[in-house]
A and B are shown apart, each in its own frame.
Chain A
Amino acid sequence: MRSTVLFSVTFLAYVVLVNAKAHSVTIEKAPPMSPSASAARIERGAHLVRTMGCNDCHTPWKVGPHGPEPDMSRALTGHPADLVMPPAPALPPGPWTWVAAGTNTAFAGPWGVSFTMNLTPDPETGLGKWTEETFIQTMKTGRHEGKGRKLLPPMPYPIIAALGDEDIRSMFAYLQSLPPVKNRVPQPIDPPEAK
């Protein structure tokens, strides 16, 4: 008798759980993680940030003993605020359509002038106030803060979007684990003809 009741209760619980699981398909937020899982996520994010080329533009470059290289003492801090760029040189008609600063953090082309963003979690000048959701939306939509202006060249957001939510989440976790660095990057400059 007791086993029969137990069977019925278990069966009911199974049905409820199966349905609950099916409904949870649309839940977008990641569940809370244990410390070890968080560490694994950050490690995965660090790997992705290293291999996806984020340092190529978001870390200012310097000329080292082996030639140009990212200045890792300013890792992922974006275009240096104290490097005020003069107007971009006018290019003659032809296949040369854009120019880059030696730091590889400022780019001028038909879109105007773009500066790479500070990706450290500084609340005033970096990603400190960003949410995971905003970061994912930004990478997926190619729009600033997920719904603002279009991200400007040469930001290769479609490559990151192709990673999928979990990997983008890991990248954000890693970036949020960095020490915050105050570095206010200039806002983009519109192209003259569009004003």
Chain B
Amino acid sequence: MNRRWLRAGIVLSGAAVAFAIQIAARPRLMAVERTDVQAPRRLSETGLYAEGTVGIVDQRNRQFSPQYPLWSDGAVKTRWVYLPPDTVIDTRNDAAWEFPVGTRFWKEFSFNGRKVETRMLWKATASDWVAVSYMWNDAQTDALLASDRGEPGVATITGTRQHSIPAVSDCLTCHGAKRTEPLGFNPLQLSTDRDTNAIHGEPLAPSILTLRTLVDERRLSPERTDLVATPPRIRTASADTRTVLGYFTANCGSCHRGDGEMAVQVPSLRYSDVMHDGDATALRLVGRRTDWHVPGSQDGTSVLLDPVAPERSAMLYRMRSRSPSSQMPPLGTVVRDQQAVDALARWISGDLASLIGERR
């Protein structure tokens, strides 16, 4: 009899443990099953605005402003983030912050005083980000979910150049298809040690969220008082080097991040690789051969940066170009960023050339 009870006990214990494993695994299973999470059809349904309004941003959504903005053909951009209550950002890896489920980012694009599109990145499950864009209506009363394939020519930027809403596949080109990440929300971009010379940088209003806000509100885990005590910045003695590299991190570093075969062409320009030694990063670009041939130069002689003949620098040429096969970045822009091109040209023959002289 006792033996029978013992057998029953073992079976029941096994079943209980098995059930416990099922329960523990459940959230992850749900995440896998819910990869088809749908975004709301209207921007007004995404939680950006206070209930019953379109235009009054819900107070729970915090505005932020990356110190090195991505060039978007001169669009006026406004960004907000929503972090669910009582959640934290996992900051164990500064190169890849992990956001809590439910996090939402919005970025609104305006041209010539009119709202054109608002993009949303939503961490819908533990493993899935939803990336969508909403196209504003003519009356500016709401925005509707744009097609996954994008919407061409939705606003005139200047002359014949038009702004297009990107396809979802293009969004993931920069934000990452395998591991999606918000690009303007990282330690360097949110630092309180702002680069006052940043190209297209915006002044920091008191209401703008920074690293200090996140630390004060205990939104980082583990707690990161170091990010306030020693705010992240690109380490270099040259103000121009800092500014140009900051521009590179925002405009080039999401693709040129030191992995894949692209690493053969261009060293990493990812913020986390650039911050600690800006001068070393700059020097790695000098004289580095590129397969991309600068028109007018001899075959096999094209380099990323050429301080002796700056005009033959592939980076300068491609930043200046807005032809589809040669322009850099290759997507998200159809108008040259003249301010950045001028700054780069000045830097190549100025502080970069001086740096090379010092190191010789």
Contacts and interface: CB of A to CB of B under 8 A. Distances in A.
A4 B12 CA distance: 11
B326 interface: yes
B261 A134 contact: yes
Most chain A beta-carbon contacts within 10 A, residue among B18, B29, B127, B293: B18
Given A140-B169, A150-B324, A190-B325, A12 B18 contact: yes
Interface in A134-184: 134, 137, 140-141, 143-150, 152
A129 interface: yes
B29 A23 contact: yes
A157 to B, nearest CB: 12
A191 to B, nearest CB: 7
Contacts of A150: 324, 330
A106 to B, nearest CB: 14
B29 A112 contact: no
A1 B14 CA distance: 14
B173 to A, nearest CB: 5
Contacts of A152: 324-325
Most chain A beta-carbon contacts within 10 A, residue among B17, B18, B178, B325: B325
A131 B327 CA distance: 24
A65 to B, nearest CB: 36
A45 B173 CA distance: 26
Nearest to A189: B325
Nearest to B3: A1
Contacts of A190: 321, 323-326
Contacts of A109: none
A31 B174 CA distance: 27
A12 B127 CA distance: 26
Given A19-B22, A150-B324, A134 B7 contact: no
Interface in A101-142: 111-112, 114, 129-131, 133-134, 137, 140-141
A25 interface: yes
Contacts of A25: 32
Interface string B287-330: 00001110000000000000000000000000001111111001
Interface residues of A, number: 44
A195 B323 contact: yes
Contact of B261 (A130, A140, A141, A189): A130
A18 B170 CA distance: 35
B11 interface: yes
Nearest to B259: A131
B255 interface: yes
A112 B22 contact: no
A147 B7 contact: no
Interface string B318-360: 0001111111001100000000000000000000000000000
B261 A1 contact: no
Nearest to A195: B323
Contact of B14 (A8, A140, A141, A148): A8
A187 B293 contact: yes
Closest 8 CB pairs of A and B: A8-B14, A190-B323, A188-B325, A194-B323, A129-B261, A19-B25, A149-B330, A15-B18
Interface of A: 1, 4-5, 7-9, 11-12, 15-16, 19, 22-23, 25-26, 28, 111-112, 114, 129-131, 133-134, 137, 140-141, 143-150, 152, 186-191, 194-195
27 contacts: A5-B10, A8-B10, A8-B11, A11-B15, A11-B18, A12-B17, A15-B22, A19-B21, A19-B22, A19-B25, A19-B29, A23-B29, A26-B32, A26-B127, A114-B325, A140-B169, A143-B330, A143-B331, A144-B330, A147-B173, A149-B324, A186-B293, A188-B325, A190-B321, A190-B324, A194-B323, A195-B323
Interface of B: 3, 6-7, 10-11, 13-15, 17-18, 21-22, 25, 28-29, 32, 35, 127, 169-170, 173-174, 177-178, 255, 260-262, 264, 291-293, 321-327, 330-331
Given A112-B323, A145-B261, 14 more contacts: A4-B10, A12-B18, A22-B32, A111-B325, A129-B261, A141-B170, A141-B173, A143-B330, A147-B173, A150-B324, A186-B293, A187-B292, A188-B325, A194-B323
